């Protein structure tokens, strides 16, 4: 396969690609991640994944390169829950997720000289009821601060998730089976 570049600074995406046996380099893209007016969550994350991958591809001097972009968000009642702005925002998000089912959506895009392929993966995640003290203790660990929806299923919050419907790796940040299929085809 041609040189693979991951257009993401996410340590979780790096771990998942490595786990799947890929050799790659990382070049994070710096783009505006604002939601466009009227943009639905699946379109939003797919657009960001494409923009990240395209930005890195355009900066390369390697027409044979394959660039993978990804973006993950949490959606509850139609509201996109990105990374928390501060501890209070993390508490707000976790209280909202408590005892509820939400969607985790990851947009992925592969850019090559032949073009761009992009899609989104959706996983439903069920949260247990959380007490205020559980939320406060978790937020104090700092773990929620760099994660969409203020939690990481692969970390301490995993104990509060009794059920998911869909791809576990999607919730971590990269739907591996989907990405592997896209890279094989691309």
Both tokens assigned to 65: 């390169």
Residue from 71, 89, 117, 146 carrying the catalytic annotation: 71
Verify whether residue 71 is a known catalytic residue: yes
Q: What predicted TM-score, i.e. pTM, was given to this entire model? A: 0.94
Residue 80 has a pLDDT of 94
Residue 88 has a pLDDT of 98
Both tokens assigned to 88: 């209070």
Chain segment 90-107, per-residue pLDDT in tens = 999 999 999 999 999 999
Using DSSP, state whether 69 is helix, strand or coil: strand
> Mean per-residue pLDDT for 45-68?
95
CA trace torsion 148, 143, 126, 83 (10° rounding)? -10
Q: What gap in Å lies between CA 45 and CA 61, rounded to an integer?
A: 26
Residue 161 has a pLDDT of 98
Chain segment 110-147, per-residue pLDDT in tens = 999 999 999 999 999 999 999 999 999 999 999 999 99
CB 26 within 8 A of CB 8: yes
CB 147 within 8 A of CB 83: yes
Helix H or strand E segment including 73: strand 66-76
Find the angle CA(120)-CA(53)-CA(144) to the nearest 5 degrees: 65
Domains by residue range for the chain, with CATH = 4-185 (3.90.950.10)
Pairing of strands 101-112, 66-76: antiparallel
């Amino acid at each position: 396969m041609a040189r693979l570049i991951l257009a993401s600074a996410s340590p979780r995406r790096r771990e998942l690609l490595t786990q799947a046996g890929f050799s790659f380099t990382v070049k994070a893209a710096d783009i505006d991640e604002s939601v466009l007016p009227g943009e639905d969550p699946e379109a939003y994350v797919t657009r960001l994944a494409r923009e990240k991958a395209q930005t890195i591809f355009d900066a390369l001097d390697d027409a044979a390169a394959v660039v993978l972009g990804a973006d993950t968000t949490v959606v509850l009642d139609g509201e996109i829950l990105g990374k928390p702005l501060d501890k209070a925002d993390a508490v707000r998000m976790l209280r909202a997720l408590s005892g509820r089912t939400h969607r985790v959506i990851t947009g992925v895009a592969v850019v090559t000289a032949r073009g761009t392929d992009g899609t989104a993966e959706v996983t439903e995640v069920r949260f247990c009821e959380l007490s205020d003290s559980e939320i406060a203790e978790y937020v104090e660990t700092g773990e929620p601060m760099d994660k969409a929806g203020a939690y990481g299923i692969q970390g301490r919050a995993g104990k509060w998730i009794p059920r998911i419907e869909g791809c576990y790796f999607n919730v971590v940040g990269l739907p591996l089976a989907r990405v592997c299929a896209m890279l094989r085809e691309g």
